[in-house]
Amino acid sequence: MTSCLRSISVRREGGPRTTVSWFPGSSSESIEVTCKAAVEVAADAMILAIDDDGCVVALTEHVPEGTVLRIEVVGEADAEGDAAQPLLEDDDASRQFDAQLLKFERISAHLSNERTWLAWIRTALALVSVGFTLRAEADNDDRRRWRIVYFVAGCLFLLCVDLTWLTGWFRYRRTKDILLMPKDELATRKFNRLSVRVQAQFLGALLVATGAIFVAGGWKRTL
């Protein structure tokens, strides 16, 4: 009876060959199910049977004796990609949640950083007021030399306004980046914040010069 059997070999990519046999008159569905079971593929999966020439072969009882077929599951790579996609999305969501949680934990530091930035702005506005006051003093003074002195001092104060604003802004941005760093990076990273030394020295020199101008100018006017 075994002489009536027809046999082929099936295999998965990189897997061993398995012999599948059937009797004449077997249905195409039963042959396909047997081939799936031989290569350990789920019965409800869609498969392609490909011969050595790369042609897709229909699994029927008329497949020639001794044919070697490679079984490929249709959509298997897409299914793996779809399974991995939620993992990637979950990973992104987890990182976003950690970032928001870290920001919430350091909310007091963030608010303090914003208040410091507002203080820089108030300082810059005060310097604008001083600059324009000196400019008005230059217009009102009838002494040519002192008009020049007041005008130069006013221009220097307006220059200090830009320096103060930029110093405050860069320090605010850098501090905000530091507060968003994970805790394990804070111990190894350098902060590299913009120093206030240049702005403080420039402003200090202007204040000393302004005081000297005020005393000298008022003294000369009273003589």
Q: Identify the pLDDT of residue 96.
A: 66
Which residues are CB-contacts of 11 (< 8 A; sequence separation ≥ 6)?
Answer: 17, 18, 39, 68, 69, 70, 71
Q: Identify the pLDDT of residue 22.
A: 80
- pLDDT by residue for the chain (223 residues), tens digit each? 455 777 888 888 777 888 888 888 888 888 888 888 888 888 788 888 888 877 888 888 888 888 888 888 876 544 444 444 554 555 666 666 566 666 666 778 888 889 999 999 999 999 999 888 888 877 777 778 888 888 888 889 999 999 999 999 999 998 888 887 777 666 666 667 778 888 889 889 988 988 888 787 665 554 4
Euclidean distance between CA atoms 121 and 101, whole angstroms = 29
**Amino acid in position 114:** E
Q: Identify the pLDDT of residue 77.
A: 46
Q: Identify the pLDDT of residue 116.
A: 92
Against a cut of 0.75, is the pTM above it?
A: no
Euclidean distance between CA atoms 192 and 197, whole angstroms = 14
- Per the CB < 8 A criterion, the answer to whether 2 and 19 are in contact is no
- Per the CB < 8 A criterion, the answer to whether 83 and 25 are in contact is no
Q: Identify the pLDDT of residue 166.
A: 92
Euclidean distance between CA atoms 116 and 172, whole angstroms = 8
Q: Identify the pLDDT of residue 167.
A: 92
- DSSP bridge partners of 9: 19, 68
Q: Identify the pLDDT of residue 175.
A: 86
